Amino acid sequence: MIDPDHLRKEIHEKASSISTLEELFQLKSAVLGRKGKLTHYLRSLGQLPIEDRKRLGSQLNALKEELESLFIQKERELEEKKIKESLTKERVDVTLPGIKFHFGGRHPLIQVWEEIEDAFLSLGFDIYESPEVEWERYNFGALNIPPDHPARDMWDTFYITEKMLLRTHTSPGQIRCMEEQKPPIKAIMPGLCYRHEAVDATHMDVFLQIEGLVVDRDISFADLKGTLELFVSLIFGPDRKTMFVPSYFPFTEPSAELLIFWEGSKGNSSHGGEWLEVLGCGQVHPQVLRNVGIDPRVYSGFAFGLGVERITMLKYNIPEIRLFMENDLRFLEQFK
Ligand code: FA5
């Protein structure tokens, strides 16, 4: 028996007790879906006598419209309810402890490396890059260090082949730079160096050097000294005690070393109050100029090679070079 009033009452009752969207969709399909009750009633109208069909037909269609808008209305209510519930759940509790972020910092050697580069850039130097894997000829031969020269023992290194090695200093960059460029040259060449070295508090087997090279007419030892003194004052301030001592390098003549007074870290008396060698330097040897086709009767120059670790140790009173490589956060975090 088709009874629209009974169906209306039944659906309104059910709809009023629904509390979730899922329940609403189930009810909707049970009434208006393909196998729904109202759909079934509408389909079966055709079997009724014409009079009943007309009357019930208009009643059922009106009921269909009424229920459709009831479901739309109910769906809106339930969606609003759902949003309200999730907003209440998502409320920020400002009393909870925050999440800690760990920010990294740049390694002290990189910081000082860039500071040194900036100092030389401000003095008009360019940066020239040269390779870490180097021909033996550039690391030694062209720098006036023939195969039987005792300096090769001092600069023993890791060989890749008989003729190819990991550079022991940045000085091969001088040769590459002079082969590529004509004077005037005013460049620094930073990078890693490798040595077969007995590691101790001031020596590593991998370390950073910055080479400097100036070649022009009338470049003298006074220019070298003045430039390096200016450099020290830029990095350490005007009052840092320095000392030039005579030295020997096969590719410079005369040669010298620059020492800076090392107060050492407080409480470490074994390293307090010494002079620490930070660089080797000198006037470019005439034979080196000839090796790259520059006439030493017209041009002269100076060069230096400084150790970035040593400068950093002096700047921050670090008594031990191995600390740079240990990756101990207690050490590294002091430079953030
Ligand atoms: C040289 O390497 C020369 N090429 C420097 C040079 C360049 C002289 C241009 C003349 C002209 P030496 O071996 O002394 O020289 O090293 C230069 C600097 O590199 C040292 O003063 C020191 O600061 C740093 N250095 C050298 N060996 C080590 C090491 N094993 N660990 C850390 N730093 C080092």
How does DSSP classify residue 267?
T
- CATH no. of 108-335: 3.30.930.10
Sign of the dihedral defined by the CA atoms of residues 104, 108, 109, 115, in that order: positive
Q: What is the pLDDT of residue 272?
A: 56
Report the alpha-carbon distance of residue 133 to residue 24 in Å, rounded: 74
Pick from 128, 154, 171 the residue to mutate for probing ligand 1's pocket: most ligand atoms within 8 Å of its CB: 171
E-strand spans in the chain?
126-127, 133-135, 164-166, 185-194, 206-216, 242-249, 252-262, 274-284, 300-307
Report the alpha-carbon distance of residue 195 to residue 169 in Å, rounded: 9
Q: What is the pLDDT of residue 150?
A: 83
Kindly state the tokens that stand for 102: 């760990």
Q: What is the pLDDT of residue 99?
A: 87
| Residue with CA closest to ligand 1 atom 10 | 281
Ligand 1 center–CA 210 separation, angstroms:
9
Pick from 249, 284, 325 the residue to mutate for probing ligand 1's pocket: most ligand atoms within 8 Å of its CB: 249
Q: What is the pLDDT of residue 220?
A: 97
Could you give the 3-state DSSP secondary structure of residue 90? Answer: coil
For 124, list phi and psi in degrees, rounded to 5: 95, 10
Pick from 277, 278, 322, 324 the residue to mutate for probing ligand 1's pocket: most ligand atoms within 8 Å of its CB: 277
Q: Which residues line ligand 1 (CB under 6 A)?
A: 169, 171, 195, 197, 203-204, 207, 209, 211, 249, 252, 277-282, 303-307, 309-310
Report the alpha-carbon distance of residue 322 to residue 325 in Å, rounded: 6
**pLDDT tens for the chain, residues 1 to 336:** 788 899 999 999 999 999 999 999 999 999 999 999 999 988 888 888 888 888 999 999 999 999 999 999 999 999 999 898 888 888 788 899 988 888 889 999 999 999 999 999 999 999 999 999 999 999 999 999 988 888 787 788 899 999 999 999 999 999 999 999 999 999 999 999 999 989 999 999 999 999 999 999 999 999 999 999 999 999 999 989 999 999 999 999 999 999 999 876 444 555 557 889 999 999 999 999 999 999 999 999 999 999 999 999 999 989 899 999 999 999 999 998
| Residue with CA closest to ligand 1 atom 32 | 203
Q: What is the pLDDT of residue 267?
A: 43
Q: What is the 3-state secondary structure (H, E, C) of 157-222?
A: CCECCCCEEECCCCCHHHHHHHHHCCCCEEEEEEEEEECCCCCECCECCEEEEEEEEEEECCCCHH
pTM of this prediction? 0.73
Report the alpha-carbon distance of residue 120 to residue 118 in Å, rounded: 5
Q: What is the pLDDT of residue 314?
A: 93
